[in-house]
A and B are shown apart, each in its own frame.
Chain A
Amino acid sequence: MPLTGARKYQGSDGALIAGVAIIVAMLSIVPMFRLAFEIVMPQGSLSAAPTIAALSGSATWTATLHSLQVGIGGTLLAVVLGTAVALLVSLTDVRGRGPFVLFYVVPLLIAPQVTALAWLQLFGPASPFLKLIGMAPPLGTRNPLYSTGGIIALLGVQYAPLVFLMVRAGLRKLPRELVEAGLSSGAGRWTVVGTIILPLMTPSIIGATALAFVSCVGNFGIPAFLGIPAGYLVLPTLIYQRLASGGPAVLSEVAVLSMLIGLIAMAGILAQDFAARRRDYRITSASLTAAPFTLGKWRPLAELLMWLVVIVVLVLPILGLLLTSLVAAYGVPLTMKTVTLANYEFVLFEHAAARRAFFNSFGLSLAAAAFAVVIAVPLAYLITWRKRWWTRFLNLSAELPYALPGVVLAIASLLLFLKPLPVIGLHIYNTIWIILYAYLARFLVLALRPTISGLHQIDRSLEEAAQVAGAGLYRRLRTIVFPLVAPATLAGGVLIFMTAFSELTVSALLWASGSETIGVVIFSFEQGGDSNYAAAVSTLTVLVTFVLMLFTNLFARHLPSGVLPWRD
Chain B
Amino acid sequence: MAGLKLENVTKTFGDHDAVSNVSMNVANGEFVAVLGPSGCGKTTLLRLVAGFEQLNAGQIIVGGEVMSAPGQSVPPELRRVGIVFQNYALWPHMTVAENVGYSLKVAKVDRATREKRVADALALVDLQGYGDRRPANLSGGQRQRVALARCLVSAPSLVLFDEPLANLDVHLRAAMEDEFAAFHKRTGTTIIYITHDQAEAMALADRIAVMDRGRLIQFATPRELYEEPATEMVASFIAQGMVVPCEVLSNETNGRCRVRVLGQEAEFRCRKGQGVTADAKVCIRSADISAGGDGPIGVIVRRSVYKGGGSRIEAVAKADESVDLHFELADPHRLEEGATARISIGSGWVIPAEGAA
Contacts and interface: CB of A to CB of B under 8 A. Distances in A.
Interface of A: 1-6, 8-9, 459, 461-462, 464-472, 475, 479-480, 483-484
A1 B103 CA distance: 29
B102 A469 contact: yes
Contact of B85 (A3, A5, A461, A479): A461
B79 A480 contact: no
Given A5-B74, A6-B72, A464 B52 contact: yes
A480 B83 CA distance: 17
A464 B83 contact: yes
A459 B78 contact: no
B74 A468 contact: no
A4 B76 contact: no
Contacts of B52: 464, 467
B74 A471 contact: no
A466 B101 CA distance: 11
B7 to A, nearest CB: 15
A468 B50 contact: yes
Given A459-B87, A469-B103, A470-B103, A3 B74 contact: yes
Given A3-B66, A6-B72, A475-B106, A470 B92 contact: no
Nearest to B107: A470
B278 interface: no
A470 B85 contact: no
Contact of B74 (A4, A459, A466, A470): A4
Contacts of B86: 461
B132 interface: no
Contacts of B87: 459, 461
A465 B89 contact: yes
Given A9-B75, A459-B89, A470-B154, A3 B67 contact: yes
Given A4-B74, A5-B75, A472-B77, 14 more contacts: A2-B72, A6-B75, A8-B78, A464-B85, A465-B89, A466-B91, A467-B75, A467-B76, A468-B76, A469-B77, A469-B103, A470-B78, A470-B80, A475-B106
A472 B106 CA distance: 9
A304 B259 CA distance: 87
Nearest to B156: A468
Nearest to A465: B89
Interface of B: 50, 52, 65-67, 69, 72-83, 85-87, 89-93, 102-103, 106-107, 150-151, 154, 156
A284 to B, nearest CB: 21
Nearest to B85: A461
Given A3-B67, A471-B106, A475-B106, A465 B73 contact: no
A468 B92 CA distance: 17
Given A1-B66, A469-B103, A469-B106, A484 B92 contact: yes
B77 A467 contact: yes
A468 B81 contact: yes
A462 B91 contact: yes
A469 B154 contact: yes
Contacts of A470: 77-78, 80, 103, 106-107, 154
Contact of A3 (B73, B93, B102, B151): B73
Nearest to A482: B93
Contacts of A466: 91, 102
B74 A6 contact: yes
Contacts of B75: 5-6, 8-9, 467
A469 B89 contact: no
21 contacts: A3-B74, A5-B78, A9-B74, A9-B77, A459-B87, A461-B86, A461-B89, A462-B91, A464-B76, A464-B83, A464-B85, A465-B83, A465-B89, A465-B91, A467-B75, A468-B83, A468-B151, A470-B77, A470-B106, A472-B77, A484-B93
B69 A3 contact: yes
A468 B82 contact: yes
B208 to A, nearest CB: 24
Q: 4 nearest interchain CB pairs? A: A469-B103, A9-B75, A461-B89, A465-B89
Given A469-B150, A469-B154, A464 B89 contact: yes
Contacts of B107: 470
A456 to B, nearest CB: 16
A1 B66 CA distance: 10
Nearest to B69: A3
Contacts of A475: 106
A4 B78 CA distance: 9
Residue from B103, B151, B156 with most neighbouring chain A CB atoms (10 Å): B103
A87 B344 CA distance: 71
A471 to B, nearest CB: 5
A259 to B, nearest CB: 41
Nearest to B102: A469
B12 to A, nearest CB: 17
A171 B79 CA distance: 48
B135 to A, nearest CB: 11
B84 to A, nearest CB: 9
A9 B78 CA distance: 9
A361 B136 CA distance: 41
B108 to A, nearest CB: 10
Contacts of A469: 77, 102-103, 106, 150, 154
A4 B73 CA distance: 9
Nearest to B73: A6
B58 to A, nearest CB: 14
Contacts of A480: 91
Residue from B75, B82, B86 with most neighbouring chain A CB atoms (10 Å): B75
B79 A468 contact: yes
Contacts of A461: 85-87, 89
A9 B74 CA distance: 8
B351 to A, nearest CB: 38
Contacts of B151: 468
Contact of A465 (B65, B74, B78, B85): B85
A468 B89 CA distance: 12
A472 B103 CA distance: 11
Nearest to A476: B77
A164 to B, nearest CB: 33
Contacts of B69: 1, 3
A8 B81 CA distance: 18
A467 B80 CA distance: 10
B94 to A, nearest CB: 8
Contacts of B74: 3-6, 9
